[in-house]
A = this chain, B = another copy of it.
Amino acid sequence: MSISFQKLGLCRDARTGIITTAHGQINTPVFMPVGTLATVKSMLPESLSEIGVEIILSNTYHLMLRPGEGEIFKLGGLHKFMNWNHPILTDSGGFQVMSLAKLRKITEEGVEFRSHIDGKKCFLSPKRSMEIQYKLGSTISMIFDECIPYPTSYEYANQSTNLSIKWARISANNYVKREGYGVFGIVQGSIFQDLRVKSIEALKDLGFDGYAIGGLAVGEGHEQMVKVLDFTVPFLPKGKPRYLMGVGKPIDIVASVKAGIDMFDCVMPTRSARNGQAFINGGTINIRNKAFISDDSPLDSNCNCYTCKNYTRGYINHLMKTNEILGAILMTWHNIQYYSNLMQKLKKLIVSGKLYEYKNEELI
């Protein structure tokens, strides 16, 4: 048996559910903090658990370059390597090859590229990506796809979607089944409904444990993203988890949960934390602002996180301005807690049937 998904509640299109894996359960809708290089930057795994994080995302592309999947395999796999015993989903590398790597050359077989670190020649393909994710021991592997940039022509989107469908088949064929592990397909097709539907039908034929929507959060904006979700999600299988890749801002997440999405990942809470941006009820503040120098209130008076229980805005302002590591730790802790609390709130509103009584802006 691969991973399983049990739908628990429905509120129009929005759902709650439980994904059961070899590494424990995940309550959906869920946000996955990003641990690019086998660490969610600045956080101890125990702190993530304390926040309520149930699954993190890591990256095939980054880990194949540093330290190399062979090293991680030798050290017992990604879970043991990074001391995280809960589920890990790994991105396939498709997105990073497009956004980071240099001098890439796409062929039917895969992508030849140069590492963004040292320029070393590398190769990723559906087969290779699945091999790497197997060696990492990812709880949920992602198929290798081409992430279409935005905007793009219909012609290019069509051609690329066809290539991703071909690669999905190769990925599925090279995925090694393990009890409690799973593999997700990735829907491409840019902003074109017929391509999105074609992509979904092909993936459904192959039969995945979950379905991700790729090629969004690439510059199309909130309205366009929601539009694509509205005409795409209804075609996805109802009995499998739906994952919107790389999303996003709290407002994007709220809209997407309303559209029926179950899973999210984004560097936003962690990366913006290190830049001083804290998510608070109703918006954000930049804690480096001099207005906070003598502020004795917590980042967010409504927040229950370790940071807000123990530290003032004044102290964090000082830490961030002096580039102290503890600043990154405290800010990251708070922002992940904000995202975690947001998901809790959405879950409760789905269960109580009241989600759609609130405007998106009222929920962030």
Contact = CB atoms under 8 A, between A and B. Distances in A.
A322 interface: yes
A64 B281 CA distance: 34
A288 to B, nearest CB: 12
Interface of A: 37-39, 41-44, 66-67, 71, 74-76, 81-83, 293-294, 296, 310-312, 314-315, 317-319, 321-322, 324-326, 328-329
A314 B39 contact: no
Contact of A83 (B293, B311, B324, B328): B311
Chain A contact residues, majority secondary structure:
loop
Given A66-B321, A322-B66, A314 B43 contact: no
A325 B42 CA distance: 5
A314 B81 contact: yes
The 5 closest A-B pairs by CB, nearest first: A42-B325, A67-B318, A39-B326, A83-B310, A75-B314
18 contacts: A37-B319, A38-B318, A41-B324, A41-B325, A42-B325, A42-B326, A44-B326, A66-B321, A67-B293, A67-B317, A67-B318, A74-B296, A81-B312, A81-B314, A81-B318, A83-B315, A325-B325, A325-B329
Given A67-B317, A82-B315, 17 more contacts: A38-B318, A41-B325, A42-B329, A66-B321, A66-B322, A67-B293, A67-B318, A67-B321, A71-B294, A71-B318, A74-B294, A75-B294, A75-B314, A75-B315, A81-B318, A83-B315, A325-B325
Contact of A75 (B42, B296, B322, B326): B296
